[in-house]
Amino acid sequence: MNTAAVIDDLRRAESLLEIDRLEAAREILARILAEQPDLYEAQCLAARANMAPGRYSMMLLHAEAAIAVEPGMDWAHRLRAIALRHSLQYDASVAAARTAVRIAPDAWQSHTTLTDSLLMFTTTAELREAHDAAKRARELAPEQPSAHITMARVYSAVADHRRARECQQTALSLDPENTIARHNLAVNQLAQGKLAAAGRQLASVIAANPHHPLFQHNTSVAANVWVWRRADHAAFAWAAAAVLALRWPGSLADHVGAAVLAAVQVIGLVTAYRRLPAGMRHLVRAAPSRHAKRRILAYGCVAAPTSALVLHAVAMNPVITGIAGAAAVPAFGCVIFAAARLRSRAVAAVIGFFRRWRFRLFVLR
């Protein structure tokens, strides 16, 4: 293979990587490396082409092969740091990223890589260093969206969603089509409970990158969160009706209250569903995959309290009253599930509050 052909193949592989055609890029790079295993750029691009779940060991091998060829170049050390981080070797990842910074202190990419590696730790010292590295990356390349995206990750790590959102918006002002910034903004909205807004962002991201595994995963997560949130609403609506039934059993207030709550629940469910973008509605309707069996339970936790609530509202004869009583058993179980999830969200909110203020008091000083 002559030099011109190799260069053409490298540029073609690079173009394929830009559009997430990883397998096609790997095929081209494998042909090049079969003839020229000591080609630094080909080894680095091969490492990038293996930057995917289940392939990080291959990414690490290619990064280390590139380092063996050119130990004084920062790119391969950055790739090695990324591969080690995804392989859960966090200390080694930080060491590799620090090597990249030492080799190229004025390269903003080295500082963003170091930030991502340090964010695997939660101590004040590591958070401070991560913040300083992200800040340095922004100083070196304020025009680069990725530098602002990295700073957003620092703020997201300490549950400072407002500042994270501002950084993502800055990145989008520099590059409105940046899918990473749009995806991360959607994740930020998801963490704040803004499910419809997150769904719209994720739907647009998936439309632009239909094969990206992380984008697909988080869109599915957003659909799951939406179903579980509807399950919580249904459970608490039934619980409110149950309180009325215990206070005024069989009375007009009991049935009217249950009817009002049933109407609010059903109308709210339909309205929330209609507000979702088409892609999210499809995911909510779709049968759960083998990786999302918990959604079957979520569907049940929507259906059981809603059905029990409607039956209780129309229970005007002994037969329907008996059916409503039987339906109350799974509905009560759904209330217990909903209370446990509410408790978990409350605990997470408290932890996020303390992490945010610890960061402000001891890192941003």
Tell me the CATH number at 202: 1.25.40.10
Query: What's the chain's average pLDDT?
Result: 88
Q: Are residues 199 and 137 in the same domain?
A: yes
Q: Are residues 119 and 28 in the same domain?
A: yes
Distance in angstroms (rounded) separating the CA atoms of residues 197 and 186: 7
Q: Are residues 94 and 16 in the same domain?
A: yes
Q: Are residues 230 and 204 in the same domain?
A: no
Question: Given a cut of 70, is residue 159 above it in pLDDT?
Answer: yes
Distance in angstroms (rounded) separating the CA atoms of residues 218 and 6: 37
Q: Are residues 141 and 208 in the same domain?
A: yes
Q: For position 130, what pLDDT does the model report?
A: 94
Assess contact for 131 and 100: CB atoms under 8 A: no
Question: Given a cut of 70, is residue 119 above it in pLDDT?
Answer: yes
Q: Are residues 205 and 231 in the same domain?
A: no
Task: Quote the domain boundaries for residue 310.
Answer: 224-362
Side-chain half-sphere exposure of 303, counting CA atoms within 13 A: 6
Distance in angstroms (rounded) separating the CA atoms of residues 165 and 222: 18
Q: Are residues 17 and 130 in the same domain?
A: yes
Query: Binning pLDDT at 50, 70 and 90, where does residue 245 land?
Result: confident
Mean pLDDT of the region 292-317: 85
Q: Are residues 43 and 22 in the same domain?
A: yes
Is the dihedral angle over the CA atoms 52, 58, 63, 66 positive or is it negative?
negative
Mean pLDDT of the region 115-130: 91
Phi/psi-derived region of residue 88, left when phi > 0, alpha when psi is between -120 and 50, beta in every other case = left
Residue environment code for 72-109, b if the CB has 16+ CB neighbours within 10 A, otherwise e = ebbbbbbbbbbbbbbeebbebbbebbbbbbebbeebbb
Q: Are residues 29 and 142 in the same domain?
A: yes
Domain boundary among 190, 216, 242: 216
Q: Are residues 191 and 264 in the same domain?
A: no
Question: 135 exposed, middle or buried (CB, 10 Å; 0-12, 13-18, 19+)?
Answer: middle
Q: For position 210, what pLDDT does the model report?
A: 74
Residue environment code for 197-216, b if the CB has 16+ CB neighbours within 10 A, otherwise e = bbbbbbbbbbeebeebeebb
Provide the number of structural domains found in the chain. 2
Domain boundary among 188, 216, 244: 216
Assess contact for 272 and 230: CB atoms under 8 A: yes
Residue environment code for 143-173, b if the CB has 16+ CB neighbours within 10 A, otherwise e = ebbbbbbbbbbbbbbbbbbebbbebbebbbe
Count the Cβ atoms, other than its own, within 10 Å of residue 16.
20
Q: For position 102, what pLDDT does the model report?
A: 96
Query: Binning pLDDT at 50, 70 and 90, where does residue 138 land?
Result: very high
Q: Which two tokens stand for residue 271?
A: 């309205």
Distance in angstroms (rounded) separating the CA atoms of residues 279 and 223: 10
Question: Given a cut of 90, is residue 52 above it in pLDDT?
Answer: no
Query: Binning pLDDT at 50, 70 and 90, where does residue 288 land?
Result: low
Q: Are residues 272 and 356 in the same domain?
A: yes
Distance in angstroms (rounded) separating the CA atoms of residues 233 and 265: 7
Q: Are residues 264 and 210 in the same domain?
A: no
pTM exceeds 0.85: no
Distance in angstroms (rounded) separating the CA atoms of residues 151 and 274: 35
Domain boundary among 168, 194, 216: 216
